[in-house]
Structure 1
Amino acid sequence: MTTATILVADDDRAIRTVLTQALVRLGHDVRTTGNAATLWRWVEDGEGDLVITDVVMPDENGLDLIPRIKRIRPDLRVVVMSAQNTLLTAVKATERGAFEYLPKPFDLKELVHVVERAITTRNAAPAPAAVDGGEAEGDLPLIGRSAAMQDIYRIMARLMATDLTVMIAGESGTGKELVARALHDYGKRRSGPFVAINMAAIPRELIESELFGHEKGAFTGATARSSGRFEQAQGGTLFLDEIGDMPMEAQTRLLRVLQEGEYTTVGGRASIKADVRIVAATHRDLRQAIRQGLFREDLFYRLNVVPIRLPPLRERTEDIPALTRHFLAMAAQEGLPLKTVDAAGMDHLKSYRWPGNVRELENLVRRLAALYSQEVIGSEVIAQELADASPAARPAAEEQGEGLSGAVERHLRDYFLAHKDGLPAAGLHDRVLQEVERPLITLSLAATRGNQIKAAHLLGLNRNTLRKKIRELDIQVIRGLK
């Protein structure tokens, strides 16, 4: 393994000791300091093959040091560590030319891996530094310092200087549009427009016109030329929300735009160059939609260049206190009384499953600020507000919020617990499939008023396959939902 001289700057003696021990064991020479001035002197003297620096130090911010290092030693790699674990910290570190950003507390194995990668690839051309947006730390586009959010921040920071297409997946209410806006607001197209369109909110027959615009006379009611979202987003970012609800015809046209970089309006002939960055989002399982014939596989791969999965709130409950304080502060800025939540109340919030995710938490906080006179909100009030949505009171609501997969998992867990003294009877796989297929096919037939051709198309099945399943499952054809 290649050995190197590593310069470490951190005002925490314990961190300097841990890093020294770990890196010396790997055969590296390590020099440590608790201030930026000494680090800068070493760099000026041409010492070191790699820099590891904290952000907050007694005499200077580590982020401000990076551009100075890059000016005199552009090939010197800089790894940034910070306890200010926000998206803006990750973005600023990347913009100013850091090789990697690691949030504190860091995983020592990960840091060692980063060091090895930085040393072995140090002859590669350094990434160009972007211009710092200069945003204040208090103006955070995303809230949360959990490990899951840190991973997202680091991915987003690497994407800011690119035009790569991004696919954001996550349950409803997790903040997919916030991520899309942050990619735009801190990216290379920040001076251009950010245009959003929700596929689920537009009638299917109007989506192509909404996306690509139309010419006068293109269809009945088209009394004048109208620009589409692609034209409105020229030079900026186009956010395609709920892409899984896009009809197949529009999918074909969108694929053509992504392949050729140009489009035509509905009823038009002249090609228009599409100078936009595409960010798409969905709460659906698009791979399942592909298997059902509802989403084009080639379009999926064009959109899924960089996938970002937003975790549901129940997977990052440690972020709930920060989110709650943020929403309470927002409510106060809007004229509502300033409130706080006590420790017991916060524990109650963290124990709830949040089927509506961050959006549900925001709505609850606004209610607390608006409806209650006390300045400090306790667990009794929060329990009362959440009572109607609790699993005991409204299990159907929780099942709806957790999705089909989560509901099935919960029921199967209950089933195995009921048989904890012995394994369930054989044939469970087929029985579970039947339990899902029977209501799915029954309701699909009811929704299509018993029309098996339409139901087969809706399900993505061959008509003969559907008939066979109706017989095997002994399904009674119902003409209309009840």
Structure 2
Amino acid sequence: MSRPKIFIYIQDKPLLQQLSDLPQLHQCERIFATENWLEALQQAAADLVLLQATAVTTTELQQLTSNPLLLQRQWLFFSDGMPDPKLDRLIHNGAGYHFRPPLDNKLLTEVLEDFLADYAQQQQTALNVPCVTNSELDQFGLLVGSSRVMRMLYRTLRKVATSEAQVFIMGESGTGKELVANTLHLASHRNQGPFVAINCGALSPELVDSELFGHSKGAFTGAVKDHKGVFEQAEGGTLFLDEVTEMPLAHQVKLLRVLENREYRPVGSQQLKQADVRIIAATNRDPQQAITAELFREDLYFRLAQFPLQVPPLRAREQDICGLAKHFLAYRNAAENTKVAIADSALAKIAAYAWPGNVRELKHTIERAYILADDLVLPQHIQLPEADTSATQHLATNIENIPTGIPLEELTRAAIEATLAENNGNRKATAEQLGISIKTLYNKLGKYQ
């Protein structure tokens, strides 16, 4: 394994001696510069630069600021503590660390040790880790996945897409319900028409009628021109009503009337218009619970749900989790013309997490990791929220001291979460320890999250 290269331009002899005594520097290939340091740095393939800021000119600092390739390296600046706006600008742009006198050897040692650890891990894992340039997953329409549950979903979508049945999509936030709706549109006979999506939960109660059915000029204050509602915008195509259970009950009645007679009237107009659209609705709620809570009309549900469709959460697509991580990374590499790889240890961390935010959360996590990584995504780049297991661990550590009167479901949750934490997120090992099936574990975790 190669040693990291450190470029050193320090003219102050006591400082140079102090740095030279650090054992971390002896683990590196050191390149010392005495003159024309900027030109020498441009020729050197250095991984870390130690620079005495007071030994460089203002012009050299300006040249350094304007050279983004040089600033991609890790920098340690050493100054006399006097204000220096150009140096401050470099640090603010993320160039590295700025050490002022008196030099803190402990902090400097920690920084160097972190650098060496990162370098060693990247060197070791990069030897056998190829750049992620392509997706390994199957695709149907706008959906990606090769797991059994996704293949079943594809088959269902192919069959229902060619009908005119109104589809009601159910699934947790982040599972891709709008992608499912758009895929249905693309595979339908209406694919030459528009696909119009509207979030019913984001509509202002005062403007729901206008957004759905449109309005005529002068219909109300602020209506300075005619406006086409989404029913008219989607004419001949597909209208996707997302989070339909969040629509106010009074407007649910009007929507039901349109679905029954296929007619609607723009606000302020006497003209009836025909609704030649296919309706696809979606919700992240349990519709039966929404009906029981009197948030959603049962007759509207039956009208919309000619074909109910459940989108699986990511935790039920176990074979797809790492594949999707590579898929998103491949697209980032293609978009940015980069060659970032991902370590097996990072994939293991991804596979062990429950992903309560589903595919959306995984996508955002990979995008953050891509930004944080250099050429290789490592476990520390996969930033996940830490579960608060203090209460559950307290219950699990001493079962004899569990107080009476605790509901059984709370004890079950405590046992599951504590065992999962003890196994570092390994769901298979957790299920075996608890004596339950992996499917039961998934169902329990889904309920808790």
- Give the TM-score, by structure 2 length: 0.56
Give the SS at the match of 1:300: helix
Query: 1:173 matched to which residue of 2?
Result: 174
1:152 Cα offset (Å): 1.1
Contact 1:210–1:229, Cα closer than 8 Å, also in 2: yes
1:379 paired residue number: 379
- 2-structure distance, mates of 1:181, 1:144: 16
- Work out the number of aligned pairs and report it: 276
Q: Unpaired runs of 5+ in structure 1?
A: 1-83, 89-139, 396-410, 433-482
* Distance of aligned partners of 1:377 and 1:431 in 2 relative to their CA distance in 1, 3 Å threshold: closer
Question: Quick one: which amino acid aligns to residue 152 of structure 1?
Answer: L
Residue 420 of structure 1 deviates from its aligned partner by 7.1
The corresponding residue for 2:387 is: 391
Report if the CA contact (8 A) 1:165-1:304 is conserved: yes
SS at match of 2:294: coil
TM-fit CA distance, 1:339? 1.8
> 1:313 is aligned with what amino acid?
L
305-314 vs 253-262, which moves further = 305-314
Q: Residue 180 of structure 1: CA displacement?
A: 0.7
The correspondence of residues 5-44 of structure 1 with structure 2, limited to 5 A, is: none
Q: Any idea what the Cα deviations from partners look like across 1:94-125, whole Å, max 9, x if unmatched? A: xxxxxxxxxxxxxxxxxxxxxxxxxxxxxxxx
Task: Work out whether 1:243 is the aligned partner of 2:244.
Answer: yes
Match of 1:207 in 2: 208
- Cα separation, 2, equivalents of 1:366 and 1:379: 14
- CA–CA separation in structure 2 for the residues paired with 1:268 and 1:414: 64
Q: Give 1:212 deviation, angstroms.
A: 0.5
- The Cα of 1:414 is off from its aligned counterpart by 8.9
Provide the C-alpha distance between the structure 1 equivalents of 2:213 and 2:204, rounded to a whole number of angstroms: 15
Deviation at residue 378 of structure 1 after TM alignment: 2.4
Between the aligned partners of 1:334 and 1:223, the Cα distance in structure 2 is 42
1:191 touches 1:236 (CA, 8 Å); kept in 2?
Answer: yes
Per the TM alignment, residue 273 of structure 1 is displaced from its structure 2 partner at its CA by 0.8
Where does the alignment leave 5 or more consecutive residues of structure 2 unmatched? 1-135, 412-449
Q: What is the correspondence of 1:265-414 to structure 2 with a 5 Å cutoff?
A: 265-335=266-336, 337-374=338-375, 376-382=376-382, 385-386=383-384, 389-392=385-388
Q: State the Cα distance separating 1:424 from its structure 2 match.
A: 8.9
The aligned counterpart of 2:144 is 143
Which whole-Å CA distance do the structure 2 matches of 1:247 and 1:415 have between them? 44
| In 2: Cα distance, 1:368 partner to 1:418 partner | 34
> Residues 224-243 of structure 1 correspond to what in structure 2 (within 5 A)?
224-243=225-244
Specify whether residues 368 and 429 from structure 1 end up closer, same or farther in structure 2 by C-alpha distance, changes over 3 A only: closer
Write the letter of the residue equivalent to 2:377.
I
Letter in 1 for 2:168: M
Cα gap change, 1:392 to 1:429, in 2 (>3 Å): closer
Question: Is 282-291 or 294-303 further displaced after alignment?
Answer: 282-291
Maintained 8 Å contact 2:137/2:327 = no
Q: Which residue of 1 aligns with 2:191?
A: 190
Q: What's the CA shift string for 1:201-259, capped at 9, x where partnerless?
A: 22121111101101122222212211100000000000101111111121111101111
Shift of 1:187: 1.3
From the CA coordinates, give the structure whose radius of gyration is larger: 2
Contact 2:137–2:144 under 8 Å retained in 1: no
Kindly tell me: are residues 417 and 371 of structure 1, through their superposed partners in 2, closer, same or farther at Cα, counting changes over 3 Å? closer
Tell me the secondary structure at the aligned position of residue 334 of structure 1. Answer: helix
What is the rounded CA distance, in whole Å, between the counterparts of 1:366 and 1:85 in structure 2?
18
* Contact map agreement 2:137 2:324 (CA 8 A) in 1: no
Q: CA deviation at 1:327?
A: 0.7
Query: What is the CA RMSD across the aligned residues, in angstroms?
Result: 3.0
Q: Which residue of 1 aligns with 2:107?
A: none
Q: Secondary structure at the residue paired with 1:197?
A: strand
The alpha-carbon distance between structure 1 residues 297 and 322, as it changes in their structure 2 partners (threshold 3 A), is same
Paired with 2:386 and 2:162, the residues of 1 have a C-alpha distance of 44
Task: Report how far residue 431 of structure 1 moved.
Answer: 12
- Provide the rounded CA distance (Å) in 1 between the counterparts of 2:258 and 2:333: 45
- What's the offset of the Cα at 1:357? 1.2
**What amino acid sits opposite 2:301 in the alignment?**
F
- Call closer, same or farther: CA 1:416–1:257 in 2, change over 3 Å: farther
Q: Does the aligned pair in 1 maintain the 2:167–2:308 contact within 8 Å?
A: yes
> Which runs of at least 4 in structure 1 moved beyond 3 Å after TM superposition?
84-88, 413-432
Tell me the amino acid that sits aligned with residue 381 of structure 1. Answer: H
Flag the structure with more relative contact order, 1 or 2, with Cα contacts below 8 A and sequence separation at least 6.
2
